[in-house]
Amino acid sequence: MKLNRRDLMVTSSGAALALATPNILRAQTGGRVVICSWGGAFMDAQREAFFRPFTEATGIEVVETTTPEFARIRAMVESGNTEWDVVNIVPSDYLALVKLDMLEPLDYGSFDPGILAGVDEQVIFPYGIGNSFYSEAIAFSTTAFNGRRPESWVDVWDTERFPGPRMLYSAEWVIRPNEGAIMGLGTAKDAVYPLDLDRSYEALTQIRENVVKWANTPAMPVQALVDGEAVIVQAPANRIQNIKEQGAPVDYIWNQALTQYDLWSIPKDAPNYDNAMRFIEYASRPEPGAAIAMIQPVGPVTAASFGMIPPERAAVLPRNRENADKLLLIDSAWWAETGPDNKTNIERNIELWNRWSLQ
């Protein structure tokens, strides 16, 4: 099951919601918009591609803050003290916040119709719109295997042909090891969902003694590869591409790369809703999408952006026409599904992970 508009067009009461224009007035606090993203080099790129050009074009000041975690957004909204106007969130957090009625519907009527038509329809939802695609790929040391390259998750699990320590993600991280584990057993990417969690832990048990550490940040596997702590890792393709360009003896493959996208959303009762919508419309244009892809190798959500990017740069971006069919788009809707015990698959997986980790 893919995360699609129908899956995400559900209010907390369960009623379907059309792409709607909000029908209440919202007070503005002046010519600014407070945007919360994830900091680091990626937010530096957002500043250059989105924030500064938006201010230059509109005169609206962008106030930056970091760490738009689900718990912080929820606490803000529940306390009646929403300080952020735009948040850069992952689909699983989006789903949870929609269920709790903690996001504002986006006013797509304020968009230039041509801009909205250019955005990949897979990332347009009532309470959020995609801003970039990114992939967690199989990355490896180019000096470790006598010229051989792992070409799939089956190869990651093949410790005889590809010996040496690995680093995979902890199941408590937002990108989990379970999809790779299932594909490591030989499952085709199109048959990964619905994911058999119990079987994924059988696979993780097979490789457990070869995993030097279970990462809980995206920086950990990259550093492990650079330091020689691991020879195969699960890591952000854009970060591996960056260090590859700097001369590190590393590479990665697009085949079976776990691919996700981030969303721009507006928390409930954001003080600068209109400015937030102006920013989101601006950031959805092809020019900013191309600009950030030139700084950080992330995939634009607007097809026209690729026409503004040199072919050699487009070749290292997720969802370009050469690699789009190789990627596994993470099914966040499946992860958010609840079972008879009212627990989501995310919660059930964390329980399984905690038990498995203690074995």
Confidence category of residue 92, pLDDT binned at 50, 70, 90: confident
- Other beta carbons within 10 Å of 353: 20
Closest to 291 measured CA to CA, from 102, 130, 53: 53
Predicted confidence (pLDDT) per residue in 270-289, tens digit: 999 999 999 999 999 999 99
pLDDT for the residue numbered 41: 85
Angstrom CA distances, 7 to 98, 125, 245, 323, stand at: 11, 9, 39, 26
Q: Are 130 and 187 in contact (CB under 8 A)?
A: no
Residue 325 vs residue 14, higher pLDDT: 325
pLDDT for the residue numbered 5: 38
Closest to 210 measured CA to CA, from 296, 150, 272: 150
Residue type, 187: T
Q: Are 102 and 272 in contact (CB under 8 A)?
A: no
Three-state secondary structure of 246-277: CCCCEEEEEEEEEEEEEEEECECCCCCHHHHH
Q: Are 144 and 129 in contact (CB under 8 A)?
A: no
Confidence category of residue 13, pLDDT binned at 50, 70, 90: very low
pLDDT for the residue numbered 6: 34
Mean pLDDT of the chain: 91
Please classify residue 308 by burial: count the beta carbons closer than 10 Å to its beta carbon, then call 0-12 exposed, 13-18 middle and 19+ buried.
middle
Domains assigned to the chain: 5-133+261-319 (3.40.190.10), 134-259+334-357 (3.40.190.10)
Question: What average pLDDT score do residues 156-178 get?
Answer: 96
Question: What average pLDDT score do residues 167-184 get?
Answer: 95
What is the SS3 assignment for 300?
A: coil
pLDDT for the residue numbered 174: 83
Residue 225 vs residue 30, higher pLDDT: 225
pLDDT for the residue numbered 16: 29
- 149 pLDDT above the threshold of 90: yes
- 166 pLDDT above the threshold of 90: yes
Question: What average pLDDT score do residues 107-126 get?
Answer: 94
Measured between alpha carbons, how far is 297 from 302 in angstroms, rounded to an integer? 15
Distance in angstroms between the alpha carbons of the first and the last residue of the chain: 32
Angstrom CA distances, 347 to 198, 331, 343, stand at: 14, 15, 6
Q: In this structure, what token pair is assigned to residue 12?
A: 């907390």
H or E element in which residue 157 lies = helix 153-157
DSSP letters of 210-248? GEEEEESSTHHHHHHHHHTS-SEEEEEHHHHHHHHHTT-
- 9 pLDDT above the threshold of 80: no
Please classify residue 191 by burial: count the beta carbons closer than 10 Å to its beta carbon, then call 0-12 exposed, 13-18 middle and 19+ buried.
exposed
Predicted confidence (pLDDT) per residue in 312-357, tens digit: 999 999 999 899 999 999 998 899 898 899 988 999 999 999 999 9
Compute CA 100 distance to the chain's CA centroid, rounded to the nearest angstrom: 21
Number of alpha carbons in the 13 Å side-chain half-sphere of residue 7: 19
